[in-house]
Amino acid sequence: MKNTQEEMDFKELESHEFEERADYLPDSYIKDRTAKGQYFDEIQKKLFQVGAKLLIGPRGTGKTHHMRLAYITCKEDKAKPLPIYVSFNHYLRLETYLNETSNAIGVFHAWVLSKILLDCLKTYDITPEQSELEPQTLQDFIEAVEKQQYSSIHDAIVQTISVEKTQGYLEDAIQKTGRKRAVLLLDDAALTLTPEYMVEFFEIFRSLKTAHISPKASVYPGTTQYGPRFHLGHDAEPIHVWLNVENPKYIDFMSSLTENRFESDVSIPQEVLTLFKYAAFGIPRAYIMMVREYQQLQTTSTQSRFNKVIADRKKYMLAEYLSIGDKLKQYQGVIELGEDFLINVVANLKRFNHERIERDEDTFEKVISVGVTGIPVKAERMIRFLIEAGLLYEADDVSHGPGRKLRRFIPHVVLLFESRVLTKSRGFKPAELLEILKKKSAKHPSRPSFESIIAKEKLFKLNLNLPPCNNCQAERMTEKQKFCHECGKPLVDHSTFKECMAKPLSELPLTKFQIKAIDTFTSFKTVEDVIRSQDPANELQKAHRVKAARAEDIYRRINQWVNEFLV
Local structure of residue 126 (DSSP, 8 states): P
Grade residue 19 by pLDDT with cuts at 50, 70 and 90. Answer: very low
Average pLDDT over residues 149-162: 94
How big is the chain, counted in residues?
567
Pick the CATH number of 49-240 from 3.40.50, 3.30.70, 2.40.50, 2.50.20: 3.40.50
Query: What is the identity of the amino acid at 98?
Result: L
pLDDT at 1: 38
Q: What is the Cα Rg of the chain in Å?
A: 25
Q: According to the model, what pLDDT value does residue 223 have? A: 67
Sorting pLDDT into bands at 50, 70 and 90, what band is 172?
Answer: very high
**C-alpha span between 80 and 49 (Å, rounded):** 9
Residue-level pLDDT at 23: 55
554 pLDDT above the threshold of 90: no
CB atoms under 10 Å from CB of 117, counted, come to 25
- The dihedral built from the CA positions of residue 423, 425, 426 and 427, taken in this order, carries a sign that is negative
Q: Is the pLDDT of residue 20 over 50?
A: no
**pLDDT mean over 470-489:** 75
Angstrom distance (rounded) from CA 255 to CA 321: 27
- Are the CB atoms for 499 and 527 separated by under 8 Å? no
Could you tell me the pLDDT band of residue 8, with boundaries at 50, 70 and 90?
Answer: very low
Nearest to 476 by CA among 459, 494, 458: 494
For residues 528 and 316, the model is more confident at 316
How high is the pLDDT of residue 16?
Answer: 42
Percent of the chain predicted with pLDDT > 90: 47
Binned at pLDDT 50, 70 and 90, residue 274 comes out as very high
Domain boundaries, the chain: 49-240, 321-462, 502-565
Residue 74 to residue 83: CA distance in whole angstroms: 6
What average pLDDT does range 375-403 have in this prediction? 85
Q: Which residues contact 192 (CB under 8 A, 6 or more apart)?
A: 198, 220, 223, 224, 225, 388
Question: Strand, helix or coil at 526?
Answer: strand
Encoded amino acid at 21, one letter:
R
pTM for the model: 0.80
Predicted confidence (pLDDT) at residue 32 exceeds the cutoff of 70: no
The DSSP call for residue 563 is: H
Higher per-residue pLDDT: 482 or 51: 51
Rounded to the nearest 5 degrees, what angle is found at the Cα of 160, between the Cα atoms of 174 and 218?
Answer: 55
Residue 250 CA to residue 244 CA, distance in Å, equals 7
DSSP letter at 240 equals E
Instruction: Spell out the alpha helix ranges (H) of 49-134.
Output: 63-76, 97-100, 104-123
**Taking the C-alpha atoms of 306, 310, 312 and 313 in order, what is their torsion angle to the nearest 10 degrees?**
140
Beta carbons of 522 and 545 less than 8 angstroms apart: no
